[in-house]
Amino acid sequence: MRTIAPFPATRLRRNRRSAPLRALVRETTLTPGDLIWPMFVMEGENDSHEVPSMPGVRRLTVDRIVAEARRAASLGIPAVCLFPYIEPALKTEACENAWDPDNLSNRATNAIREAGIDIAVMTDVALDPYNANGHDGIVRGGEIVNDETVEALVKMALAQAEAGADILGPSDMMDGRVGAIRAALEEAGHGHVSIMSYSAKYASAFYGPFRDAVGASGALKGDKKTYQMDPANAEEALRLVERDLAEGADMVMVKPGMPYLDIARAVKAHFRVPTYAYQVSGEYAMLNAAAQNGWLDGEAVMLESLIAFKRAGLDGVLTYFAPRVAEILNG
């Protein structure tokens, strides 16, 4: 370990004395290029609905999604991630709408592509928005079945690739789905499409507002503990990441974010691959609620929370704060 000269030869406060000095020695930087903006798409035209549990976040119709994707690109945000709010009448136990080429998510992806916006489109590969049972997988006799779900996810992934998605995000946590999706993409001529696997996705209490946003909370029967990770486990996360990389994942994700920064740091240090975290809906709602009550400086904690992800070694963050942060960083 390096030694430093004793006080007063060493005064560590010298380099903190002014903003320019602090900037010169700053170890971690945050830029708009580190951000992925999750967006919720709904049916309709030129309309939006606020998500009550996520102040400042709105579900948007496809035309407004396109407009916001254009704004994101102008701010230097490199990617948006689309999540659909599916009408209850389209939710079934077989989840057929998930791979309909004309479903809401695919129409939004295609609209961004047709608009010629220079931004990457990431999509969610999981069945919960389309599932009458609210689960990420198909339910048979009270059990979330793995292999039948993987077959459905492959069809869903191919439809998203055909619609023009750049990055597929399998968030379901079924065993074997990354390998199956990668093989299907290669066979169908979509070998250029990236996979960002939700490799270490925990069965967390921080997801509640998101389920409201996509309309899955009322449908959910039971919990997701048989397929999402136990929050007490760390070594298992490394095994999951290793498996997904071996099956063809190009990037990996840890979810949630702030409560699992130890996992994120371990993943990045161990594998040295593009690694991301999702600052999930509960994290966003928690910080926003405190700011709205005057208990915290909202802008300061927003930026500090995102610096923490970068300091942990991550390559980027999915965050609902993305447009606000990009505006601040752009001055």
- The tens digit of pLDDT for each residue in 136-181 reads 999 999 999 999 999 999 999 999 999 999 999 999 999 999 999 9
Span 109-131, average pLDDT: 97
Confidence (pLDDT) at 215: 66
Which CATH number, 3.40.50.40, 3.20.20.70, 3.40.50.920, 3.40.50.300, labels domain 30-329?
3.20.20.70
Dihedral angle computed from the Cα positions of residues 101, 104, 110 and 114, in that order, rounded to the nearest 10 degrees: 140
> Distance between CA atoms of 295 and 174, rounded to whole angstroms?
40
pLDDT digits (tens, 9 = 90+) for 253-262: 999 999 999 9
Q: How confident is the model at residue 97 (pLDDT cuts 50, 70, 90)?
A: very high
Q: Is the pLDDT of residue 12 over 70?
A: yes
Helix ranges (H only) for the chain are 19-24, 62-74, 104-114, 146-163, 177-187, 208-214, 235-247, 261-271, 281-292, 298-311, 322-329
How many alpha carbons fall within 13 Å on the CB side of residue 137?
25
Return the percentage of the chain with pLDDT > 90, whole number.
92
Residues with a catalytic annotation lie at 201, 255
Span 5-27, average pLDDT: 95
Structural domain spans, the chain: 30-329
Structure tokens at 14: 């010298």
Confidence (pLDDT) at 218: 64
pTM: 0.95
Confidence (pLDDT) at 210: 78
Q: Give the gyration radius of the chain's Cα atoms.
A: 20
pLDDT digits (tens, 9 = 90+) for 178-236: 999 999 999 999 999 999 999 999 999 999 877 777 766 667 878 999 999 999 999 99
Confidence (pLDDT) at 209: 77
Confidence (pLDDT) at 214: 74
Confidence (pLDDT) at 39: 97
Confidence (pLDDT) at 221: 78
